[in-house]
Structure 1
Amino acid sequence: MTSVASETWGLVFWEQGRTAHAAVTGPESCSGTADVPEDATFLGIQFAVGTSLRMVSTPSLVDGGIVLPDASRLTFWLDGRRWAKPQSDDAEGLVEGLVRDTVVVRDPLVTQAVRGNGDGRAVTDRTLERRFRAATGLSRGAVRQIERVRVAADLLIAGETVSDVVVKLGYYDEPHLARALRRHVGRTARQLREGLGGAIALDAAQRTTS
C-alpha cells in the first residue's frame, strides 16, 4: 500500500492471526510504501498538530515510529503503565485518559497558530518556528504543504478537475500540483481521478483528535 505524507503522529493497533501489536507512528514527510498483511485488522488514532507524547520527542518519530512492548488483544504498554486497548467506538476515551495523565501534552502556541486564532505579535516568527518544529518535527511550511496536498488528493478522487484544484488551493500551476502529488501522495492527478495505482492510505473521513 502507498502511504501518504502526514503532518500528524498517531497510535496504531493491529492483530494478525492471534498476535496483537501496537505502535506509535510519526509524521511522514513524503509518500512511501507500507507493508499491510492481508489478514491483519487495524485501528488507528491520529493526534492533532501541536500535541505530542511526553515520553518521546515528535522530531525523533518523523518518517518512523516505535513499536510498543507487551501488547495484547486487550491492553498495551505506554509511558510506564498498561492501558486498555481501544475499540473503534471508544477511542476518545483513551485519548481523554492520555491527556488527563499528561501522557499526551499540547503546545498551546502551536495549536493557536494552526487554528489561526492566536496573537502572532506575542512571539517572534523564529520562536514560533522553533516551537513548531519541537512539537511536530516539521516546519510550518511543511505542515501547510502536506495539509494542502492531502486536500488536493481528496478533491481529485472526488472528481474535481486538475485546473479547478490548482485554482481552489492556490497552486502556481498544474506542474506545481503534479510535483506536490508525486512527492507527498505518490500518485499523479490522473491516477487519483481514475482510481489507478493500487491501494493508498488516504482516508478523507479520517478525524484527528482535537
Structure 2
Amino acid sequence: MHAIICQENGSHYISMVFGYYRDRARSYYADYWIVWDSKKERLIKWPTFKPKKKFLEKQILIVDTDQNDWKLNQDGEGCVNFLNRNLLDSIMKENNQPQNILEQCRKIDKGYTYDEVHEIKTQKDIEDLDWITGNFHDAYIAKKKLQDDGKLYLKFEGIWGCDLEVWFWGDLEYDMSSRDSELVDDPYWFDSTILFHDGFVYLIDEEDMTVEKITTDYCYFKARHMEYRVIPK
C-alpha cells in the first residue's frame, strides 16, 4: 500500500503505508496511518484528516491499495505482517527508532514507482481510483474540453484531498448534461461506478451501476481508454 502524503505547507510526497488504526476514544474521525516522514528516516503517525480544521480535509490519498502483506482485524485495522500495534505505539515515542525495524520497512518499500498519469486497465486500477476519490463524492466537473487529438479532458474538483484530471479516448461516447454546472443547479456527484464492459471502460455518477441501467438521467463516460492524474491539495 502506498499513499500521497499532503503536508500543511502545500508540498507532498509518496510513502509506503505500514499500518492503519483508529483512536475512537478521541474522536470518530481520529484514524491514522503509519507512514514514512518526508525524509524516509523514521515512521510517523499520520491522521487521515488535517487537525483543527472547521471542515474535514483529507491529508492522505491512498494511491495503491495492495494489502496482501498486511494482517487485518475484522474492522479493517492492521499493519504489515512483521509489525503490530503495540510495537508501533512504542516506537512512535522513541527519538531513535530501532534500526532493524526501519531496515525491514525499507526492504519491502524497494521497487515501487508511482506513475503520475495512470491508465485504468484492471479491476485493481478501479479500486485504487475509488480510494483516491472516495467514489467521486462531492466531485464536480470544473473543466471539460474535447482536445484536438480526440481525447476528452475533464478536471474534477471538490474531491476530498485532491483535484483530478481525467482523459477518455477511443470510440468515445458521453453525456454530462445532468451534471453540467452551466445547465443544472446541482452538478455535484454523490457516488460513482467505474466498470469494464465489452472492451470499454465506463464512469457513471451513481453507485452500483450496470451498462444496462445507463439513461440520460445519468452523467456517464464510455471509451476504450481512461487515464487520470491526481493533483494533491
Bigger proportion of residues as helix: 1
TM-score for the superposition, normalised by structure 2: 0.29
Bigger proportion of residues as strand: 2
**Largest Rg, 1 or 2:** 2
TM-score for the superposition, normalised by structure 1: 0.31
